[in-house]
Structure 1
Amino acid sequence: MFDSHVHAAPDVLPRLGDDLAIGQTYLDAGYSGFVLKGHYEPTVGRAQAVARATGLRVYGGVALNQHVGGINPAAVAAALGAGGRVVWFPTADAHTQRTAGLPRLHDQDPRLPDSVYGVPPVDPAGEEPAEQVLRLIGEADAVLATGHLSGPECHWLASRAPHHGIDRVLFIHPSYTVPGLGPSEIAELAATGGHIEITTYQLLHQPGCTPEMLAAVARAAGPKLVLASDAGQQDTPNPPDALQLLIDTLAAEGLDRSWLLDAASTVPEALFSPR
């Protein structure tokens, strides 16, 4: 098994455990590895340290939020140059996050600028830096993750990815509150060649989310489905148990368990592992 989305301490929000403690849960559960995500800190060095300590394949990257100045090619060059495997476009500081009233760093410290970020067609001013970021991702053969950006922005990123040699695209929980896409829209994203993520966090914490809804999303994703825990919160089971809960829940909706297991193991591991 391979979990492509998990959070750990240190973080600006309380977490279930630190990097090594979370890594130990995967080691104990027989996982091959995981992807360590931080909304407000690059996780490249942290991931490498856990990999050395546990022997697991652990990958990190950078999220393009306010702490790095948004869509900042310099931050991306530094993270990828240090061995990062993924660049998340704006997540907690995406414009969608503010519109939905979801937590941002500005909420914790209102003295910070109330900055949000986007790419075309929502924010045409984001085109030039976004193109530079895409070029860097392509050169590093890293994963382009769409963050919390809107559906039209996801389509724009998917359309530009091939121009930069990018064939590793992950649409981050598109059926979550942000961006809040339905199965038909998600099927269109899957048709572009990118992978579609569903997370346990949605199952446990997303208002209005049901197993039936997630099963419909999984069917829309087809072979491009990726299942991840997005765990690490103090009120969520430990990440391996959380991911198993998602698999069991979707299997109970009539989905093929072997397909679901692939979506939580070989598919995401191949997506993130260097060629």
Structure 2
Amino acid sequence: MFDVHVHAAPDVLARIGYDDQIGESYAAAGYSGFVLKAHHESTVGRASALSRSSGLEVVGGVALNRAVGGINPAAVLSALSTGGRVVWFPTADAHTQESAHLPRLGDLDERLDRSVLAVPPVLPADDEAVKNIGLVLDLIAEHDAVLCTGHLSGAECRWLLEQALDRGIGRFLLTHPSYTVPDMAVPEIAELADRGAHVEITAYQLLHQPGMTASRLAAVARAAGPRLVLASDAGQPDSPQPPMALNQLIDTLAGQGLDPGLLRDAAGDTPRRLVLP
């Protein structure tokens, strides 16, 4: 088992445990490893240290929010050149996050402005921004890293996939596309999966997403087919320990009639092959 999406302390939001405590929970559950995610800093150094100390395959990356300079090629090059494997396009600072009134760093201090990030087709004509996006994508391709869509809109996810295919990026993950952001419809998810995108479903959606049901998640899983990736997106104090949350998601989807073997692959071999070189 390999969890492609988990949060740990230290973080700007409360978390259920620190890196080493989260690692202990995965080791006790028999997982081979996980991807450590943070919205406002690179996790590459933290992941590397935990991997060395724990023996787990702990992977880090960088989310392209304002705290790292937004869609910033320098942050991406630094992360990928020091062992990072995952680049998330804007999450907490995506325009969708602000529109949906979901948590942002600016919530901690009113002196921060509320500016947001986007990519085409939402992005206004800005040569420098387009150049930076292109270089970020080139770096991902050159390092054979994973491109994750973050919290961008469905139209932006589609555009990113087109750019990824043009550049030969072979590792592309739609970040929880049925979550509140980006709230993509099942037929659109199925289309992008057919074109090569992996599709993430998270235990967080099952546990906390308003209006989400097991049957709706099962429909997304069927649309994803063999490109399904199951992850916890856990680490919140009001969620179970991340491996328990992911196991709960697997059991719930199995209860909807999905093949347990496919589900185990979606939480194990599939994400591990997607992330690891």
Match of 2:224 among 205, 221, 224: 221
Establish whether residue 100 from structure 1 lines up as the match of residue 100 from structure 2.
yes
Matches within 5 A, 1:71-86: 71-86=71-86
Q: Distance in 1 between matches of 2:10 and 2:79?
A: 18
Matches within 5 A, 1:168-207: 168-207=171-210
CA displacement, residues 182-239 of structure 1 (integer Å, 9 cap, x when unaligned): 1111111112201000000000110000001000000011111000000000000001
Q: Distance in 1 between matches of 2:64 and 2:36?
A: 15
Shift of 1:165: 2.4
CA displacement, residues 4-57 of structure 1 (integer Å, 9 cap, x when unaligned): 000000000000000010001001111111000000110000001110111111
Provide the identity percentage. Answer: 65
Q: Output the TM-score relative to the length of structure 1.
A: 0.98
Q: Distance in 1 between matches of 2:17 and 2:154?
A: 33
Q: Counterpart amino acid of 1:253?
A: Q
Q: Distance in 2 between matches of 1:40 and 1:200?
A: 22
Q: Distance in 1 between matches of 2:247 and 2:130?
A: 39
Shift of 1:114: 1.3
Q: Which residue of 2 aligns with 1:66?
A: 66
Q: Which residue of 2 aligns with 1:153?
A: 156
Structure 2, unaligned runs of 5 or more: none
CA displacement, residues 33-87 of structure 1 (integer Å, 9 cap, x when unaligned): 1000000110000001110111111100000001012111111111111110010
Q: Which residue of 1 aligns with 2:39?
A: 39
The count of residues paired between Structure 1 and Structure 2 equals: 274
The 4+ residue runs of structure 1 with deviation greater than 3 A are none
Structure 1, unaligned runs of 5 or more: none
Shift of 1:163: 2.6
Shift of 1:113: 2.2
Q: Output the TM-score relative to the length of structure 2.
A: 0.97
Q: Which residue of 1 aligns with 2:269?
A: 266
Establish whether residue 132 from structure 1 lines up as the match of residue 120 from structure 2.
no
CA contact (8 A) 1:7 1:230 kept: yes
Q: Counterpart amino acid of 2:94?
A: A
